[in-house]
Amino acid sequence: MPSDLTATAAPAPPGPLRAFWRAFRGNRGAVMGLVVVSLIFFVAIFASVLAPHDPLEQFRGFSKLPPFWVKGSDPRFLLGTDAVGRDMLSRLMYGARVSLFIGLAVMVVSMLAGVALGLAAAFFGGLVDVLIIRVMDLIMAIPSLVLAILIIAIIGPNLTNTIVAVTIVGLPRYVRLVRASALAELTKDYVTAAKVSGVRKFRLMTVTVLPNCLAPLIVQAALGLSDAILEAAGLGFLGLGAQPPTPEWGAMLADTRDLMISHPWVMAFPGLAILTTVLAINLMGDGLRDALDPRLRRS
Amino acid sequence: MFRFLLKRLALTIPTFIALMFITFVMIRLVPGDPIEVRKGERGISPERLAQLRHEMGLDQPVWKQFLDYANGLLHGDFGTSIISKAPVLHEFLTLFPATLELTLSAMIFAIVLGIPAGVIAASRRGGVYDQTLMGLALTGYSMPIFWWGLILILLMSNTLGLTPVSGRVDLIKFYYEPVTGFMLIDSLLSGQKGAFLDAVHHLILPMIVLGTVPLAVIARMTRSSMLEVLEEDYVRTARAKGLSWARVVGIHALRNALIPVVTVIGLQVGGLLAGAVLTETIFSWPGVGKWLIESINRRDYPALQGGIMLIAGIVIVVNLLVDMLYGLINPRIRHAK
């Protein structure tokens, strides 16, 4: 036996983050989505620095200007102006801020509420479980936008209430997901072991079980972000979301119908912004899902 | 199977009761008294006001109002619209065929294109077709349909002049009695030349707009379900015994791959009705979605209340039917205790 063959340690297995990144990186679409989403976030955060004009300022005598590649455009307004002479590019940039803010707020609140309700349903069982699941079923029985409209009708249309309505509408998916994964974890040996060793219920819920339910929850959060943005834009379009003159993409589309034929770009840009954002987040979400948990499949 | 059905049916009852309660409470919380809204600026005498309140039962204690409401619902009384004075159920039923025609065509559009798209993508996994189709599907899935509708109107109606912009039928050229409430059928029954084509022209854009998201969902679901099935042993067996690829994919694999797709199709019903609100608003389609938005703007509580009850009821019943269908095509569920 040759003595110079010292046992070399097997390469350390990649950490979970590394493994995730390796899987995510292999998905071209997901990486593209991530790049676009990062760009949109960048624009949203630095809108006040990047935007050439105030999104609310109306430039008299400069209304309905076309974007730069069309004849008759003004170099000061790269993407033209809307019906009352506000700079389209600036409004779109600030709109990114509004849409992402709504989306992220909905996502964070849904995650917190979803985890709390889902864990409660799984751990306490019995009446608590039945009650929570029944209420979630009820929410799911009413078509999302119809329920959101009903909620807005009661609490009034504005930005905060949009977040409330969209959160309630999307909540069942989070609750059911957390409940289902927690129930699945509860049957496993490590939970029994923890119970036997005297871990308290609250600690068992949050420290022992919750981390093992996170992968599907993260995927759901990414996809929930794009759903929330779409839903909020739909409400804005119906006049039940952010109110004018807030530069919200959906609301920007609402009053373009009369201009649609003569000045199509006023209508084209906000919609394109919504589509790009949602598409990029979905691409990223698909990649996340494949990398984190290949078993999860979204229709 | 029977027990499974019975259990499923029993589960919907508490949902309905809770639904009644919530629509009732929520609508009471809406700011703006319907009478205040109606009296407008002309003013109304206190006696008349009291009389109106009495007529609508608004002078009763709240719990009594709820019991009256629940009792009415059980007898098919969904209240009376404050604006039109017509029973809500009647208004809903008059408008519902328009929505049904729209949603059904959208669903058929989505199924007819979505399933083949998913099958083609799965059988050419990783290829150009797969990538193109799935790229399109994800775009469709991410589409803000209200904008999509405007774009299509701009392209098809204004630029190319191919389709009308709004409504269900050209009222100047054609008039026919509603028999079934479905324009496609009524126009044929009327026997007027060109009426059917006119109805089709009106339907086509709203159908595409409303069908886009379900189309994307169905295509994606069919593909992933198909990919899973194609790995199965019986597919390999079928191939091994010399059956053609088309036959294996089209018959052996597809039949099993469709099981989850059916569920997804059923789950789209709620989404379709939500989408119908936006689609009907864009295309001035006289259905229940547009009516619901108008009811909110007019603060017509009973219409809103009844409308939402009815829509939720439809969704619950359809989900029940889908579960039954699922049991029928998937024996594993039917026989599970």
DSSP codes joined into one string, B14-33? HHHHHHHHHHHHHHHHSSS-
For residue A114, name the pLDDT band (cuts at 50, 70, 90): very high
- The conformational region for residue B195 under phi > 0 = left, psi -120 to 50 = alpha, else beta, is alpha
Higher-pLDDT residue of A226 and B57 is A226
The residues pairing with B87 across neighbouring beta strands, listed in sequence order, are: B80
Q: Is B293 on the interface with A (CB under 8 A)?
A: yes
Whether the predicted pLDDT of A166 surpasses 90: yes
Mean pLDDT of A22-51: 88
* Structure confidence at residue A53 (pLDDT): 80
* Structure confidence at residue B30 (pLDDT): 66
pTM given for the model: 0.85
Q: Which residue of B has its CA nearest to A281?
A: B142
* Structure confidence at residue B305 (pLDDT): 81
pLDDT tens-digit profile of B13-37? 887 888 888 778 766 776 656 566 5
Whether the predicted pLDDT of A102 surpasses 80: yes
Measure the CA–CA gap between B153 and B167, rounded to whole angstroms.
13
Distance from CA of A164 to the nearest CA of B (A): 15
For chain A, what is the total number of helices (H) and then of strands (E)? 12, 0
Which of A134, A228, A204 minimizes the C-alpha distance to A176? Answer: A134
The one-letter code for the residue type at A281 is: I
Inter-chain touch A146–B316, beta carbons under 8 Å: no
In chain A, the percentage of residues whose pLDDT exceeds 70 is: 93
Higher-pLDDT residue of A281 and A68 is A281
Inter-chain touch B15–A134, beta carbons under 8 Å: yes
* Structure confidence at residue B219 (pLDDT): 94
* Structure confidence at residue B140 (pLDDT): 94
For residue A297, name the pLDDT band (cuts at 50, 70, 90): very low
* Structure confidence at residue B334 (pLDDT): 57
* Structure confidence at residue A280 (pLDDT): 95
Lowest mean pLDDT of A58-67, A83-92, A170-179, name the range: A58-67
Inter-chain touch A238–B277, beta carbons under 8 Å: yes
Lowest mean pLDDT of A148-162, A212-226, B156-170, name the range: B156-170
For residue A207, name the pLDDT band (cuts at 50, 70, 90): confident
Return the biggest CA–CA distance within chain B. Answer: 87
Whether the predicted pLDDT of A112 surpasses 90: yes
Whether the predicted pLDDT of A9 surpasses 80: no
Tally of CB atoms within 10 A around A10: 6
**Residue whose token pair is 């790049």:** A35
* Structure confidence at residue B43 (pLDDT): 62
* Structure confidence at residue B326 (pLDDT): 72
For residue A10, name the pLDDT band (cuts at 50, 70, 90): low
Inter-chain touch A270–B147, beta carbons under 8 Å: yes
Alpha helices for A238-263 (secondary structure H): 249-254
The secondary structure of residue A158, as a DSSP letter, is S
* Structure confidence at residue B147 (pLDDT): 93
Higher-pLDDT residue of A6 and A110 is A110
* Structure confidence at residue A1 (pLDDT): 46
Measure the CA–CA gap between A63 and A81, rounded to whole angstroms.
6
Higher-pLDDT residue of A299 and A115 is A115
* Structure confidence at residue A281 (pLDDT): 94
Low-confidence ranges of chain B (pLDDT < 50): 337
* Structure confidence at residue B114 (pLDDT): 94
Distance from CA of A143 to the nearest CA of B (A): 5
Chain B residues inside the 8 Å CB shell of A283: 138
